[in-house]
Structure 1
C-alpha cells in the first residue's frame, strides 16, 4: 500500500479503452508503462485505468516540502536499504545506486542466468531511468508503519507476493495481506519485478481477480 501527499498537484491520465498511449506516467519510482505495460491493453478494454505522475516523476515536479508516506511496514532490512538508496540519489550517484538495486530487484535465479554484458546493460538502463524524485520517495520509507490504517480499509484486494523478492521480505508482504480484511493472496516465484520476470502470469492474476469481482449496478 503506497501513497503520499504533496502541496503540488499530481498529473494523471485516465485510459478508458483502446490501445495504451505511448506517454510516460510514473508510479512509485518508475513509469506506469514499465510497471504495468503487460496488462494495460487488456485492462483498458474493459476498465478505466488511471496513471499518476507522483512528485518528482513523469510530468510532476519534485515536491518543495517533505512527502508523507502511506506504507504498510518497513522493517530494518528495507529501512537500511532505503537510507542508502536516498543518500546515493541525493548525491546523484546513479551508477552505484543501480548496482545496489539490480541484485535486489531481480530474483537470484534470473540474475545468475544473465551474462556479464546483460548485467552491465541492466545497470546502465536502471541508472538512466532513475527519476529526479526517486530519492525523495526512498526517504519516505523510513519509520513508516500503517498497519492499523490498512486494517480499517474496506476494499476488495489482491496481494501478489513475490517469493524470491530480496528487496521487500516475504514476511512483510504477508503482513499486508493479513492486515487487509478479506484480502486474497497469490504468489509468483519472482524477484521484486514480476512484470519483467513473469509478465503473463502476473497479468493473468490481476485480470482474473478483476474479472471475478461483483459487477456494480448503476
Structure 2
C-alpha cells in the first residue's frame, strides 16, 4: 500500500514485524565514558534500596503508582522480590530494566517497554538524588536509546512525563525528542491532583547528542 506525502511523493507504509522477541540478544553490559548499565538482578537489592530510600521524596510525585512505602523502598528483601519480577519480565521480553552504575553505586535506572511487532519502545528512567544535576540521567537515557535502535532494531522510542515535571521535560528536549501529544488530565499526582500528560518521541539517533557507547 502506498500513500502520498505532503510533497506529493509516495512513501511505503511500514508493516508489523514477525520476528520472535526471544531472537533478540539483550546486552548484558552497556558502557559509556562514565556509566556501566546492566540488567537488573536480585543481587542488586541492597544497592537499589539505598538509592530509592535516599531519593524517595524526589521520586514519589512522579512514580507513586509503582512505589512502595518509605519502609518498603528501604527494605532489601522487598526490593529483591521486585527485582525477581523484573528479571522474569526481561526473560519474557516484556520489560527491559537496566541499572546505571557510577563510582561503585547505583545512580539510577532506565526501563524499555517493547512493542516488538511495531519496533516501538516506551522509555522511563529515574536518577538518585545524590547523582542529580551531573548529567547521568541524560547519558544513561542516550545510551539506552542507542541500544534500542542499534541493538534491538527500534523504529521509534517514546517517553512521557507529567506536565509539571520540568526536569524530565528538559531532558527530553536536550536529547532531541519531539512532543507528539498532550493529554489533558493524563497524569494523576499524589493526593489526586490531575495534570496534563506529555508524550514525546524520537525516530533517529542522529538527533541525539554525541555519545560513545559500547555493548558487551
TM-score computed with the length of structure 2 as normaliser? 0.32
More helix by share: 1
More strand by share: 2
TM-score computed with the length of structure 1 as normaliser? 0.31
